[in-house]
């Protein structure tokens, strides 16, 4: 199936690894030009660019900074002419579990600044760009999390940031069409996915088994699986009548145990 993404200009935040990198490669395979945003890992972004099938650029930006996000879009437009699609993926997940009564406000502030403020700034600058260019269609996809649906004990700040993104998406899908008649805003909510951010949990069989007990498919997701859903949502050919939706990509995750411990094999995760 032709997704109609050939020649589109796609800006992906947090694209140097994990879901963002998988999405960048997937868009490139469809012929899209990709703006690969990175925060600190320039080498990973540069290495990814070498694997692209179509034109691409790498751009660094601090997603919590208004000036930096504005400059990110300015560089994208300067080098590639416009931005048709944005995948707002940049985010952080502190590894230490901390209940709210032990969590310093500085950690809350850091996560909210990147995950929510950065997402809001990205959307705002994209909308400003669209108001100037006045295309007939455009697409914005947010990367949320199942933590927005089920919560995340020990990571209340992360869950709050990802839940807020869903509210933002629901609001902006109505604002989008006042600027772009066929513009669409959606989100994906990945469950636990094997990315650099979750790498340290791979060796923890107990944690893996506990997670798999809540998933119908009894395995952990891959970045490429999330990336494919992102592509489908951005495609006007496939999802032209889909907006304001959050697609869970979680292997059928529920907020309850579906499998007994002896029915789980961590090696198959």
The CATH fold of domain 9-268: Rossmann fold (3.40.50)
Domain ranges of the chain: 9-268
- Contact by Cβ (8 Å): 185, 172: yes
Mean pLDDT, the chain, rounded, equals: 94
Active-site residue among 27, 93, 126, 158? 158
Q: Which pLDDT value is given to residue 144?
A: 99
The segment with the largest mean pLDDT, out of 138-142, 201-205, 262-266, is 138-142
Per-residue pLDDT at 170: 99
Q: Which residue has the higher pLDDT, 64 or 266?
A: 64
Neighbour-count burial for 72-84, b at 16+ CB within 10 Å, e otherwise: bbebbbeebeebb
pTM of the model: 0.93
Indicate if 158 belongs to the active site: yes
Q: What is the pLDDT of residues 171-225, one digit of tens each?
A: 999 999 999 999 999 999 999 898 877 777 777 778 788 888 888 898 999 999 9
Residues 74 and 241: their CA atoms lie apart, in Å, by 30
Cβ(142)–Cβ(187) below 8 Å: yes
| pLDDT classification of 31: cutoffs 50, 70, 90 | very high
In percent, the amount of the chain with pLDDT more than 90 equals 83
């Amino acid at each position: 199936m032709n997704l109609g993404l050939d020649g589109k200009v796609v800006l992906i935040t947090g694209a140097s690894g994990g879901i963002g990198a998988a999405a960048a490669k997937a868009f490139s395979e469809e012929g899209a030009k990709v703006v690969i945003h990175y925060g600190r890992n320039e080498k990973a972004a540069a290495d990814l660019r070498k694997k692209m099938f179509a034109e691409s650029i790498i751009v660094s930006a601090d997603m919590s900074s208004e000036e930096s996000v504005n400059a990110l879009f300015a560089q994208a437009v300067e080098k590639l002419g416009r931005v048709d699609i944005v995948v707002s993926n940049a985010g952080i997940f502190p590894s230490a579990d901390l209940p709210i009564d032990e969590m310093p406000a500085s950690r809350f502030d850091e996560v909210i600044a990147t995950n929510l403020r950065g997402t809001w700034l990205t959307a705002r600058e994209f909308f400003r760009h669209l108001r100037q260019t006045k295309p007939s269609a455009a697409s914005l996809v947010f990367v949320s999390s199942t933590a927005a649906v089920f919560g995340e004990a020990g990571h209340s700040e992360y869950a709050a940031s990802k839940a807020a993104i869903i509210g933002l998406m629901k609001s902006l899908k109505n604002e989008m069409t006042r600027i772009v008649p066929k513009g669409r805003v959606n989100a994906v909510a990945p469950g636990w996915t094997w990315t650099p951010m979750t790498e340290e949990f791979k060796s923890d069989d107990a944690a893996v088994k506990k997670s798999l007990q809540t998933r119908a498919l009894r395995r952990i997701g891959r970045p490429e699986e999330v990336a494919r859903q992102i592509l489908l949502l951005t495609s006007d050919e496939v999802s032209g009548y889909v907006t304001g939706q959050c697609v869970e990509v979680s292997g059928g995750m529920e907020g309850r145990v579906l499998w007994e411990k002896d029915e789980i094999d961590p090696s198959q995760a």
